[in-house]
Chain A
Amino acid sequence: GAVVSQHPSRVICKSGTSVKIECRSLDFQATTMFWYRQFPKQSLMLMATSNEGSKATYEQGVEKDKFLINHASLTLSTLTVTSAHPEDSSFYICSASKGGSATQYFGPGTRLLVL
């Protein structure tokens, strides 16, 4: 199997606070993890790619100081949305891949609402 979990599934926070989202690969070691954002009725937008033990690679237009990514182990990556604002409200999805494979396995997503 290839199961990926995310926590929390939903979070509501006040503007200006920081929110941390965890992504875990439960039954395999993920050499690479990815963070996506999906706006309503749109495709998945890749935000960043993270490899265990190294700095994340951010896509163009994604603020690395705004979206902090840590990939501390082969089974855990975290995304922290710092000083969240209402425009950060979105559906955030992580995925993980096994070494040498382009197939990504996705988590269930986290719905973030910033008031």
Chain B
Amino acid sequence: DQQVKQNSPSLSVQEGRISILNCDYTNSMFDYFLWYKKYPAEGPTFLISISSIKDKNEDGRFTVFLNKSAKHLSLHIVPSQPGDSAVYFCAASAYIGNEKLTFGTGTRLTIIP
């Protein structure tokens, strides 16, 4: 049972444009969400997070939006840069302080110069 889903395995975006990565979840107990970026043969790098009391969190070029009613979150990267090419994982936690994360299957983002 995949509780966190990233339905797009890959995405290509022109450099300078906006990249939008999507993530859906099924467990209504999830209340903390994170995005990680991963290069091949490396560990994931934490990008940004959001708690369920918010619907938006912004950090530089990265913005995460949360729609609790739809159980959907998205990561916006603008403007997209070649160094953003990587696999992006969304992850969710059942409550803050319970540190176990459930990961999505990942979306491979390719930025086209």
Pick the contact of B44: A2, A97, A101, A106 (CB < 8 A): A106
Instruction: Tell me, rounded to whole Å, the shortest Cβ–Cβ distance linking B2 to chain A.
Output: 9
Question: Which residues on the B side are within 8 Å of A32 (C-beta)?
Answer: 99
Contact yes or no, B105 A42, CB < 8 A? yes
- How many Å lie between the Cα of A58 and that of B19 in the bound state? 37
Pick the contact of A97: B45, B89, B99 (CB < 8 A): B99
**CB-nearest residue of chain A to B48:** A103
Question: Which residues on the B side are within 8 Å of A4 (C-beta)?
Answer: 43
Contact yes or no, A107 B34, CB < 8 A? no
Contact yes or no, A49 B100, CB < 8 A? yes
Contact yes or no, B99 A101, CB < 8 A? yes
Question: Which residues on the A side are within 8 Å of B32 (C-beta)?
Answer: 102
For residue B28, CB closer than 8 A to chain A, the reply is no
Contact yes or no, B97 A102, CB < 8 A? yes
**CB-nearest residue of chain B to A44:** B103
Contact-residue size bin, chain B (C-beta under 8 Å from the other chain):
20 to 34
For residue B1, CB closer than 8 A to chain A, the reply is no
Instruction: Tell me, rounded to whole Å, the shortest Cβ–Cβ distance linking A110 to chain B.
Output: 10
If over half of B's interface residues share one DSSP class (helix, strand or loop), that class is named, otherwise mixed; here it is loop
Contact yes or no, B41 A102, CB < 8 A? no
**CB-nearest residue of chain B to A59:** B100
Instruction: Tell me, rounded to whole Å, the shortest Cβ–Cβ distance linking B31 to chain A.
Output: 9
Question: Which residues on the B side are within 8 Å of A101 (C-beta)?
Answer: 96-97, 99
Question: Which residues on the B side are within 8 Å of A103 (C-beta)?
Answer: 34, 46, 49
**CB-nearest residue of chain A to B91:** A104
How would residues 48 to 67 of chain A score, 1 for a CB under 8 Å from any chain B CB and 0 otherwise?
A: 01000000000000000000
Taking Cβ atoms with an 8 Å cutoff, the residues of A that contact B are 2, 4, 6, 32, 34, 42-44, 46, 49, 91, 93-95, 97, 100-109, 111
Given contacts A34-B101, A102-B32, 10 further A-B contacts (CB under 8 A): A4-B43, A32-B99, A43-B89, A100-B96, A102-B34, A102-B96, A102-B101, A103-B34, A104-B46, A109-B41
